[in-house]
Amino acid sequence: MAETTSKPPFETDIDYDRESEILKVLGHPIRLKIVAGLISQACNVKKIWECLSLPQATVSQHLALLKNKNIIVGRREGVEVYYQVVSPEAIRIISALFNNLPSKNSQL
């Protein structure tokens, strides 16, 4: 006879709705690259689009979606805004995908 546990096997403290939403947002390669890079180092828009070789408008659209989903936040320093990842769920997901994230001193 199987041993009974106090909780059903699929019941956990994880917010599956939030995890699923983050997975959807990170499902785009550009957003995945942006978040992976921002985990290692906060960056401004110019550095992000230069590192990714993408137009500024494209990067800004992806950053706006990431901000709206509370995955990243922007911090103003003078005329520039530096973005960083604030979602622990996104950090955990990216870390699970990439065992060897770039160090803090490397670029996107």
Q: Is residue 65 part of a domain?
A: yes
Contacts of 102 (CB under 8 A, 6+ apart): 36, 37, 40, 41
Q: Is residue 76 part of a domain?
A: yes
State the DSSP string of 41-104: --EEHHHHHHHHT--HHHHHHHHHHHHHTTSEEEEEETTEEEEEE--HHHHHHHHHH-SSPPPT
Query: Quick one: pLDDT at residue 106?
Result: 47
Q: Is residue 10 part of a domain?
A: no
Query: Quick one: pLDDT at residue 105?
Result: 45
CATH number at residue 24: 1.10.10.10
Domain holding 35, by residue range, is 18-96
pLDDT tens figures, 79-89:
999 999 999 99
Total domains, the chain: 1
Q: Is residue 22 part of a domain?
A: yes
Query: Quick one: pLDDT at residue 14?
Result: 75
Alpha-carbon span 52 to 46, nearest angstrom: 10
Query: Quick one: pLDDT at residue 80?
Result: 93
pLDDT tens figures, 32-68:
999 999 999 999 999 999 999 999 999 999 999 999 9
Alpha-carbon span 2 to 19, nearest angstrom: 31
State the DSSP string of 93-107: HHHHH-SSPPPTTS-
Q: Is residue 12 part of a domain?
A: no
What's the pLDDT band for 100 if we cut at 50, 70, 90?
A: low
Q: Is residue 2 part of a domain?
A: no
Q: Is residue 58 part of a domain?
A: yes
Q: Is residue 79 part of a domain?
A: yes
Average pLDDT over residues 23-38: 96
φ, ψ of residue 103 in degrees (nearest 5): -75, 170
